[in-house]
Structure 1
Amino acid sequence: MDKYTYQEFNRTIYRQRLANGLLVQLLPMPGFHKTYAAFSANFGSIDNQFIPYHEKTAVRVPDGVAHFLEHKMFEKADHDAFDLFGELGADSNAYTSFTQTSYLFSTTSHLKDNLNVLLDFVQTPYFTEQTVQKEQGIIGQEIQMYDDDADWRLYLGLIGNLYPHDPMQIDIAGTVDSISQITPEILMQSYRTFYQPNNMNLFLVGNLDPVATMDWIVNNQNHKTFLPAEKPRRLFKLNDPTAHDVIPFRSLTMNITRPKVMVGLRGIKQFTDGRQRLRYKLTVDLLLDALFDDTSDNYLRLYNAEVLDDSFSYNFEMQRGFNFAYFSSNTNQMERFADEVVAILESADKQIDAARTRFTGIKNAELGRLIGLLDSPEAIANQYADKLFAGANLMDQIRLLKGITIDDLYQVAKEFITSQGISVYQVVPHHQ
């Protein structure tokens, strides 16, 4: 078991890659009562084309398989994993993103038993025609519910503009039609391909003894038989890496009271090194803060002119194989909002110059936010992305952030902001 000490945070991470390929990381937090676990597969909604485990021919599975699989993993022949966690006093959950599926629990007691439940239910697939058909109805209702959510439709509509020919344009849950095509055989094929231990990682943080906890995990895994490891062969590839396929504008009419607008900016820079990818993300985050946070002249000017309001938000998403930023608000001045955001982005160098005196404060605010997350076991575990950022954890992020200067913002602005990568999506009330 390797040991990595972060003296400035008084924290030590224990790390071991087991014989079956599973990466395990443990972060004890003395004085905490809660323990939080995240068991993640490097498998998400965009992984719908791949060469299945031990086969030679590529397949295209229905949209929504990763999310469907997440739902089905909890249900077994004679029990539901949620019930087992409940009996042990733990809260459990799971989520699927574009590129990852994670199974979670938090507990203040019975850590060993809860850990065994987590490992066992995720590593014991059970799919039948009957249970799959039942889940199709449940997830179909979930999809229809989100179809009525204007904020979700705004977000998904913008991604459809930014990636019109890529799987990101499809809801992570799929469509009612696509999930109707999912079968137990498709679920098992996807499970065997992506739920191999060498494509997964387990992160525990909080009240734990690292030696005893690692022994429990090793013992659990040693009592199981796994197929020989085989690296998943994904076939995901961007339709147009230069972003010239971006749709500049679309709108949707819904039964809402106020218009909603979102401006998107698709990045085109690709990375082979995970730490470089993480540093790029942290730098873009600082760039967007310099341009748009609520201490900026841009925000105050647009707020006073009622171009945006307290619903205004922005974010940068870095995923495996793609990245983008978005800027959103409810506003009665949709066109002006979009024009102003685009103008600010296109004059980024000037905007960075104007923010020079604020940069230290902006950076310290972000450092303070990340340092504050060190008191949250959930945040520490959920900030971790093994393959994406080459194993970097929250403490690594803080170290990298400290080294970023304002001059780095100019370089990132040149790489990230391109005219062909900009798009606008509106959700408009029926009466407008």
Structure 2
Amino acid sequence: MLSKKNYERLGETVYQTTLTNGLKVLMVPKAGFHKTFAIMTTNYGAMDNEFVPRGQKEVVRFPDGIAHFLEHKLFEKQDHDAFDLFGKYGASANAFTGFTQTSYLFATTSHLKENLEILLDFVQDPYFTAATVNKEKGIIGQEIQMYDDDPGWQSYFGMIGQLYPKEPLHIDIAGTVDSIDRITADDLYAAYQTFYHPSNMSLIVVGQLDPDQTLAWITANQEGKTFAPNEPITRIPSPQASPADIVAQTTRQLTVSRPKVSIGLRGFDNVPAGFAGLQYSIAVSLMFDLLFNDTSDNYLRLYDANVIDDSFGYDFQVQRGAHFAQLAGDTDQPEQFASELSAILTDAPAQLRAAQPQFDLVKREAVGRIVGAINSVEGIANQYDGPLFDGATIFDELAILEALSFDELLAAAHDFLAQAKQTVYTILP
């Protein structure tokens, strides 16, 4: 049955159902929009490299980078490439792999039915052979080598590697040239059959659409296929590092014109489940806005002192089983960059209380960013949090943000910072 959730103040409606095979379907019609965007996601990413394959009983450790490799290979079939089919019907398509999810997507202004069927069919019809797998190894190997030469990418994963030295989060999403060389067609089928069951997947469609008609197309497509019975997925958690395992500081040299510094903060507190976890994520993100956005006293002071420039940025992420922050930028004063930002974080409780008068302004800015994303079909679809926050959408995120109080921000900031451990990763010319 198709359920409907109205967000009356925004004039938005989310239609949602779960098909008999377990596939979760969300649809958001956008009146007046010419474009439609669809994204199909599996709850499987680069971190999931040790699990019990479907139909087996023993744990298997798969080569690093297999989720990303599988993403690449799904487009190629025995007699065609899915990209060509999308092109035939005027759609642009893409895919990406993250730490915990893999997504396949298209955008189109016409032929929605045909493009939805292409998306569902190519994702749900794997074709791997030893020859095609070996050919892809060369392509992905070049991609890995390209990122090996990317200072920004190296700075990011260098920082993560020091925060998560024992967990697969620190491994590059694409793996290494050596690890992908060990991937076989059988490995890809085992990973696919385990994680690409409809019950572990979602399909989001946003834009010019009729919900009942679109659901009828999706349902008919799925009813024409046979899937194995749904089984629980057994993922093997990696050994958890302790705060003592965090690498405090590393400096390396690469071909860069200016030093790059990345400061990481790993949370050791427990992120709440469901919508409470989304509130926590929003509150901690807003904390960093108060401390470091480009109108804050800290930013202006460090900018005027030439410690930071407009390359400076920050981010807070909550993933399945991990949460961390990054503050990074190019600087001619790497030691002062690290010491100044570390001092601000250490003094954060007092700094936040002093910044309370800016809370409403910073919150309104964050609201504006979400409202801007709501005016984009991609923004709505890509903000679906799936199983991480109990199926919350961008509209739920906006409601939580608008209701957030300063005291709730302080509480979340305390929970995160009181147990967080810091690392500094510096790249010098």
Same fold, judged at TM 0.5 (above) = yes
Equivalent residue, structure 1, for 2:256? 256
Q: What is the aligned partner in structure 2 of residue 127 from structure 1?
A: 128
Q: Counterpart of 2:50?
A: 49
> Which residue identity does 1:313 align to in structure 2?
G
Shift of 1:290: 0.6
- In the alignment, the residues of structure 1 paired with residue 9 and residue 267 of structure 2 have an alpha-carbon distance, to the nearest angstrom, of 34
Instruction: After superposing the two structures, state which structure 1 stretch, 105-114 or 418-427, moved more.
Output: 418-427
The 8 Å contact of residues 291 and 352 in structure 2, kept in 1 or not, is answered as: yes
Per the TM alignment, residue 237 of structure 1 is displaced from its structure 2 partner at its CA by 3.6
| Distance change in 2, residues 1:307/1:394 (3 Å) | same
Equivalent position of 1:101 in the other structure: 102
Corresponding residue for residue 361 of structure 1: 361
Q: What residue in structure 1 maps to residue 234 of structure 2?
A: 233
Following superposition, the deviation at residue 274 of structure 1 comes to 2.0
CA distance in 2, matches of 1:186, 1:218: 30
TM alignment of 1:350-389, pairs within 5 A: 350-389=350-389
Deviations 1:116-152 (A, max 9, x none): 0000000000000000000000000000000000000
Partner of 1:3: 4
Return the alpha-carbon distance in structure 2 between the equivalents of residues 385 and 410 of structure 1: 24
The one-letter code matched in structure 1 to 2:42 is A
Aligned to 1:192: 193
Please tell me the residue identity of whatever aligns with 2:409: L
Say how many residue pairs are matched: 428
Q: Conserved in 2, the CA contact under 8 Å of 1:198 and 1:231?
A: no
- Post-superposition Cα deviations, 1:242-283, rounded to whole Å, max 9, x if no partner, equal 433110001221111100001110011234522111111100
Deviations 1:333-367 (A, max 9, x none): 11111111111111111111111111000000001
The residue that corresponds to 1:327 in the other structure is 327
Name the CA distance, whole Å, in 2 between partners of 1:419 and 1:35. 43
* CA pair 288-238 structure 1, distance change in 2 beyond 3 A: farther
**Shift of the alpha carbon at 1:168?**
1.1
CA–CA separation in structure 1 for the residues paired with 2:423 and 2:155: 12
1:238 offset after TM fit, Å?
4.8
Distance 2:182 2:103 in 1: 24
Superposed, which structure 2 residues align to 1:32-431 within 5 Å? 32-240=33-241, 242-271=242-271, 273-418=273-418, 421-429=421-429
Maintained 8 Å contact 2:269/2:420 = no
Aligned partners of 1:16, 1:373: CA distance in 2, in Å? 24
State the alpha-carbon separation in 2 of the partners of residues 286 and 359 from structure 1: 9
Report the aligned-residue RMSD.
1.0
Deviations 1:90-134 (A, max 9, x none): 000000000000000000000000000000000000000000000
Structure 1: runs of 5 or more not aligned = none
Structure 1 distance, partners of 2:110, 2:285, is 37
In the TM superposition, what is the alpha-carbon distance from 1:332 to its structure 2 partner? 1.1
| Alpha-carbon separation, structure 2, partners of 1:247 and 1:346 | 18
**Superposed CA offset, 1:199-239 (max 9, x none):** 00000000000000000000000000001111211112452
Indicate the SS of the match to 1:125.
Answer: coil
Distance 1:256 1:392 in 2: 41
Identity, % of aligned pairs? 51
- Confirm or deny: 8 A CA contact 2:165 2:246 kept in the other structure: yes
Mapped partners of 1:269, 1:419: distance in 2? 6
2:283/2:408 contact within 8 Å kept: yes
**Contact kept? 1:63, 1:175, Cα under 8 Å:** yes
In 1, Cα distance between equivalents of 2:184 and 2:295: 52
